[in-house]
Chain A
């Protein structure tokens, strides 16, 4: 039996994020009921309810793109370390605002049939892959010393406006791609990172004319998340 850990990070500082996380949890319970799940809380100002195990950090180091520390990287590497320490076979990071319409189990089965150790989503509009959803073979992450190499404490704020070559050295997606090297593969599941507000609940079906998107990141509107679930035929309690 393959043991998979799904983890995410939260910093609940608004009603919207609280609602978003509740939906994330409901979707995770529906699609991956047998997976282990742990939530890393970066000292959220607002309380939130969850049935999952919560690991609470005492502080919020901030976000690299907002001039702060690498709070994201702390959560990311903490989850991977958790999976290593607890003896999981696979570990999946799924960001709180990343919704995926298919179970993580499908990815781990796909990986087991091959020797693929690291899987991310293809990100159409950037030169780096999407890391809001990533699945790794835990032994592999231990072998390559991923947590040590990522070294979140020594990450510096992203110098926005600097040259792309400099940005590459500071952007987590790029750093991760460099660490994973030739072992990184992309899943052929189509979706959107909605950081440019190209997609909304009214145009989602036109944006994805052939079939509903398999994933949606940064919807920034609960109506859009619900439309995503509706198009994928997913009903949640």
Chain B
């Protein structure tokens, strides 16, 4: 089974540089024999300069930063997602794993792919406690399914631009919010991996309270930790040494 692991980034602060470097080291640790690609949106801090070459990560640079929908720009995250999926199709991978660069993930990727291939699941993402939509910052796609469904064309990252207008009803936002759009395209083929984790909006999880927040076992994933100590605590609790 040939798997591509990829993420997108825009690095404009020292903190983000540290986070993306951690991502690169963790991705190589969790996917030691897989191809890993990073799609950079013309960051002020160039990943080609700060990602250690020894990690053997393929870095691709867009000529400009498309922006972020919630900040009034374009769908830069969607562009990186589609670029990775296109890359997986072009190079005939079997699976593409979208792994956001501000998300830490504890399981070996071959274990995840084993689960997905055994169940013949073609698209899988993670559950999210705070919202009605799901986490696509870690998602697995079967590449033949991507081709068959014209997923990239249907997503059409250029079709939406921020900022989100003021709709009278939240349900109307579904046609703009990337997570909802992805869910709509995936349709009945979508399944969720039963991995416990958290999108840390509001910094409710910290390095000090993580064990209490996840009493049964350490979180399998953590998104938007916003604090390097929290990321490191995550790795420590999961027994991952980089």
A residues sitting closer than 8 Å to B (CB atoms) are 106, 109-110, 113-117, 120, 122, 124-125, 127-129, 164-165, 167-168, 174, 177, 182-188, 190, 208-211
Contact B132 A174 (CB under 8 A): no
The smallest beta-carbon distance between A149 and chain B, in angstroms, is: 18
**How many chain-B residues does the 8 Å CB contact rule pick out?**
34
From B114, B115, B214, A127 is in contact (CB under 8 Å) with B214
With the chains together, A210 CA to B133 CA distance in Å?
9
From B171, B193, B216, A186 is in contact (CB under 8 Å) with B193
- 20 A-B pairs besides A128-B216, A187-B191, A210-B132 with CB distance below 8 A are A106-B188, A109-B188, A114-B121, A114-B122, A115-B118, A115-B120, A116-B121, A124-B130, A127-B215, A127-B216, A129-B194, A165-B216, A186-B127, A186-B193, A188-B134, A209-B132, A210-B133, A210-B171, A210-B173, A210-B180
The smallest beta-carbon distance between B180 and chain A, in angstroms, is: 7
With the chains together, A183 CA to B193 CA distance in Å?
10
Residues of A within 8 A of B128 (CB): 124
12 contacts between A and B (CB under 8 A): A114-B122, A115-B120, A116-B120, A120-B194, A125-B129, A128-B216, A167-B216, A185-B192, A186-B192, A186-B193, A209-B132, A209-B170
Binary interface encoding of chain B residues 52-82 relative to chain A, with 1 for a CB under 8 A from any of its CBs, else 0? 0000000000000000000000000000000
Ordered nearest first, which 7 A-B pairs have the shortest CB separation? A209-B170, A164-B215, A186-B192, A122-B127, A124-B129, A115-B120, A127-B196
Residues of A within 8 A of B121 (CB): 114, 116, 185
Contact A185 B174 (CB under 8 A): no
If A113-B189, A209-B171 touch, whether A185 touches B119 (CB-CB below 8 Å) is yes
Contact A190 B132 (CB under 8 A): yes
Residues of A within 8 A of B180 (CB): 210
Residues of B within 8 A of A209 (CB): 132, 170-171
**Does B217 interact with chain A (Cβ within 8 Å)?**
yes
With the chains together, A209 CA to B130 CA distance in Å?
12
Residues of B within 8 A of A167 (CB): 216
Residues of B within 8 A of A120 (CB): 194
Binary interface encoding of chain B residues 26-42 relative to chain A, with 1 for a CB under 8 A from any of its CBs, else 0? 00000000000000000
Contact A127 B217 (CB under 8 A): yes
**Does B183 interact with chain A (Cβ within 8 Å)?**
yes
B72-104 contacts to A (CB < 8 Å)? none
If A127-B215, A210-B180, A211-B171 touch, whether A188 touches B192 (CB-CB below 8 Å) is yes
**Does B190 interact with chain A (Cβ within 8 Å)?**
yes
Contact A164 B216 (CB under 8 A): yes
With the chains together, A117 CA to B127 CA distance in Å?
19
The smallest beta-carbon distance between A35 and chain B, in angstroms, is: 19
Residues of A within 8 A of B214 (CB): 127
If A185-B192, A210-B132, A210-B174 touch, whether A114 touches B120 (CB-CB below 8 Å) is yes
If A186-B193, A188-B183 touch, whether A211 touches B119 (CB-CB below 8 Å) is no
Residues of A within 8 A of B215 (CB): 127, 164
Contact A182 B192 (CB under 8 A): no
